[in-house]
């Protein structure tokens, strides 16, 4: 197992090109995402956003394997825990005798889970006319914030490729700002106003509602950004 752990960790560093995915269909399973890799011929994985299992296919033979809830994966991605979540998931499967994973299958699944978590960054959003996307992970029990109220928010921001650029989680108190007063980007003013206190959600902010054609600091021009936000309170 120690050797397998070292090999899995090493494979995290590789970034070989993803081949076109042509997984055979699985009965009664409408996959949202499938994955193949040129280094693992005959292997294919299929995932469903709202499912509790996924399918691993080897030479066309499919078997169902357990997976964590996609909401937990999405939160882990935005909190910068992608690598540790992927490794833990694959090692748990590798140690489970019912899964009957071979070493190549375990290595392949690490790559598949990495790709799937990045895909979760981009799916499941309700998009309004302005282009703002909201993916609700947990609905709070508190009131909706109103314009002019001081809102307290924890957040973590990612680029489209899944790279995190900043976060307040675990870094101290949440940020606070008056809602609807232009103190934050337009996507935040619009999105936070739709989330009850206690909610966790992901905001997909197009460039025109973010930092525009000029960008800012490490934010490049015309960047679509993703923010995990938690509405902590209002005053």
Residue-level pLDDT, tens digit, the chain, 235 residues: 444 443 444 333 333 333 357 888 898 888 889 999 999 999 999 998 877 889 999 998 999 998 887 778 778 888 888 888 888 889 988 898 989 999 999 999 999 998 888 888 788 899 999 999 999 999 999 999 999 999 999 999 999 888 889 999 989 999 999 999 999 999 999 999 999 999 999 999 999 999 999 999 999 999 999 999 999 999 9
Please list, in sequence order, all residues whose beta carbon lies within 8 angstroms of the beta carbon of residue 104, skipping any fewer than 6 positions away: 40, 43
What pLDDT, on a 0 to 100 scale, did the predictor assign at position 1?
47
What pLDDT, on a 0 to 100 scale, did the predictor assign at position 17?
32
CA atoms within 13 A on the CB side of 197: 13
Residue 8 is part of which domain span? 2-120
What pLDDT, on a 0 to 100 scale, did the predictor assign at position 20?
52
E strand or H helix at 95 = helix 82-95
* Same domain, yes or no: 106 and 36: yes
* Same domain, yes or no: 8 and 61: yes
Out of 72, 92, 120, pick the residue that ends a domain: 120
CB 148 within 8 A of CB 179: yes
* Same domain, yes or no: 151 and 87: no
* Same domain, yes or no: 11 and 97: yes
E strand or H helix at 66 = strand 61-66
* Same domain, yes or no: 103 and 146: no
Block residue for tokens 């302005």: 130
CATH classification at residue 222: 3.10.50.40
């Amino acid at each position: 197992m120690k050797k397998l752990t070292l090999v899995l960790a090493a494979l995290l560093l590789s970034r070989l090109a993803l081949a076109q995915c042509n997984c055979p269909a699985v009965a009664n399973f409408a996959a949202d995402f499938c994955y193949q890799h040129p280094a693992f011929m005959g292997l294919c994985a299929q995932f469903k956003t709202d499912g509790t299992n996924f399918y691993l296919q080897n030479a066309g033979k499919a078997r169902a394997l357990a997976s964590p809830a996609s909401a937990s994966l999405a939160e882990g991605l935005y909190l910068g825990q992608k690598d540790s979540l992927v490794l833990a998931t694959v090692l748990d499967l590798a140690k489970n005798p019912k899964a009957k994973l071979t070493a190549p299958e375990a290595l392949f699944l690490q790559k598949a889970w990495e790709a799937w978590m990045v895909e979760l960054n981009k799916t499941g959003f309700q998009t309004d006319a302005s282009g703002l996307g909201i993916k609700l992970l947990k609905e709070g029990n508190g009131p909706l914030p109103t314009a002019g109220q001081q809102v307290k928010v924890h957040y973590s921001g990612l680029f489209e490729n899944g790279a995190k650029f900043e976060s307040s989680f675990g870094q101290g108190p949440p940020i606070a700002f008056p809602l609807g007063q232009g103190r934050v980007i337009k996507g935040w003013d619009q999105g936070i106003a739709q989330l009850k206190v206690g909610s966790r959600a992901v905001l997909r902010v197009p460039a025109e509602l973010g930092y525009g054609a000029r960008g800012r600091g490490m934010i490049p021009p015309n960047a679509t950004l993703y923010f995990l936000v938690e509405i902590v309170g209002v005053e």
